Structure 1
Amino acid sequence: MTPPVMIFCAGFGTRMGALTADRPKPLVEVAGRPLLDHALDLVTEAGLTRAVLNLHYKGQMIRNHLAGRAAPTLGFSDESGEILETGGGLQRALPLLEADPVMTLNPDTVWTGPNPLPRLIAAMEADPAAEAVLMVVPRARAAGHVAPGDFFVDDGLPRRRGDAPTAPFIYGGTQILRTGRLAAMPPGAFSLNRLWDSMIADGTLRAITHEGGWVDVGRPEGIALAEAELAR
């Protein structure tokens, strides 16, 4: 299984403050290279050959940065008219992805240790009942992440924290997803959380835990944390 990867690049990156005044967040540099290049390294290291990027804020800068890149093969999903959030953006990109399942990857994270993409593929291949597999990170090891935890996970089955103030795992920003439920959604802006919640209700959402380092680079302070993690 060699699914294509959707890389979410359409956001404004407002939490980055002045760093995104003149560039989109995927082009903010960590250890001398744009976040997007670190994300594409994961794709090529995993042996995957196609990636699609959705573009909105300063999207032409991303196109210019990637011009001439040999691998992976790239496609671009235009969201210049409106930002469609994660679910709507992925749904619009399905004709470009041309596959089922597909993977998604947030570029504002830095991973060390085992590449998460092959592990997600292997987990789905081993579980035909899984509609999606999320890579989660223990909240205690999620450097730079300031929000509460997202999920409890019991034997690979994630559930929301509900009324609990936090949960022991966060979503790490990458997954593998079968597209049937997504394609059936009404078009427009919506979050992938809507799909995950319906899968949780049906018992078809899975989660596996990242075994290496992970850094959230959604804020300026995440840059130094990510550079320290890469140096280790």
Structure 2
Amino acid sequence: MNDTGAIRTGVLLAAGHGSRLRGSAPYKPLCPVGGRPLIDHALCGMAEAGLTRAVVVLGYGAEAIADHLASRDWPLTVDTVMTRDHREPNGVSVLAAAPALRGEEAVLAMCDHLVSPSLYARLAATGARGGTTLGIDRRLGHPWVDPDDVTWVRTQGDAIVEIGKLAAGGMADADAYDTGVFAIGPALFDALASLPAPSLTDGMRLLAADARAFTVDCSDLDWIDVDDAAALAKAEDWMLARAA
């Protein structure tokens, strides 16, 4: 972090296939919501939150997305890196950003998560705390959240005890949702690098076992994972409500 104590760099994962949104856009980061592509919402939201640089991790559709990024003037510096293989788990894409950070902490977010800029700001202010901090939402049953698709979290105080999908079992006593926004640092990269084909959840489990996976409550802030047509419709409604 810088001398003010707040993170100023974001990492945005934009490497995946996005097959469930293929009917709305050939590449998920370019899928329009409220008249703007998802990646535009994310980058402008990071800038509004006070971030001054974003490292965008590309993979599937990299050329088209890179062209889009190059065609616009952004309110923050935008750098791009390539994942080694977009077919591998998302932890591989996270690792691709490590050299660009040079050991600094960053706010990690998913390109397909439409979130209030205040969520980025809260994670930037909280920091990784020597491990990784995850923004969580305790509003279980929220109509914007697909319980079968979201990552669930079980907490003890502000620590993560367990994290995973319901389908994987063992999450019956989960008490929060994973919002997809993190404050990360070297500890997460070390955890991911120790695994052959890591997912972000795998890395968080390793940190949780070492008591270095933390949470910050973001239940008062809006977010939605735009990963299919139903979620896209809900996101459009949200944009209309905000505009009104």
Give the drift of 1:111. Answer: 2.1
Give the drift of 1:181. Answer: 4.7
Give the drift of 1:86. Answer: 2.2
Is 2:178 aligned against 1:171? Answer: yes
Using structure 1 for the length normalisation, give the TM-score. 0.86
Tell me the distance in 2 between the aligned counterparts of 1:50 and 1:61: 21
Among 53, 58, 73, the residue aligned to 2:56: 53
Tell me the residue number matched to 2:160. 158
Q: Please tell me whether the aligned partners of residues 7 and 125 of structure 2 are also in contact (alpha carbons under 8 angstroms).
A: no
Tell me the distance in 2 between the aligned counterparts of 1:132 and 1:41: 24
Tell me the residue number matched to 1:228. 237
Matches within 5 A, 1:1-232: 1-20=6-25, 23-67=26-70, 68-79=72-83, 81-112=85-116, 115-124=118-127, 128=129, 130-137=130-137, 138-141=139-142, 143-147=144-148, 150-160=152-162, 163-165=170-172, 167-183=174-190, 185-186=193-194, 189-210=197-218, 211-232=220-241
Tell me the distance in 2 between the aligned counterparts of 1:81 and 1:132: 24
Give the drift of 1:108. Answer: 1.1
Tell me the distance in 1 between the aligned counterparts of 2:151 and 2:97: 29
Structure 1 residues 88 and 49, CA, compared in 2 at 3 Å: closer, same or farther?
same
Aligned residues: 226
Greater shift in the superposed pair: 179-188 or 165-174? 179-188
Structure 1, gaps ≥5 residues long: none
SS of the counterpart of 2:181? strand
**C-alpha RMSD over aligned residues:** 2.4
Give the drift of 1:166. Answer: 6.0
Using structure 2 for the length normalisation, give the TM-score. 0.82
Structure 1 residues 146 and 17, CA, compared in 2 at 3 Å: closer, same or farther?
farther
Tell me the distance in 2 between the aligned counterparts of 1:134 and 1:45: 20
C-alpha distance after superposition, 1:192-226 (max 9, x if no partner): 22221111111111112221222221001112211
Q: Please tell me whether the aligned partners of residues 44 and 75 of structure 2 are also in contact (alpha carbons under 8 angstroms).
A: no
Structure 2, gaps ≥5 residues long: 1-5, 164-168
Tell me the distance in 1 between the aligned counterparts of 2:196 and 2:103: 21
Identity across the alignment (%): 25
SS of the counterpart of 1:139? coil
Q: Please tell me whether the aligned partners of residues 106 and 184 of structure 2 are also in contact (alpha carbons under 8 angstroms).
A: yes
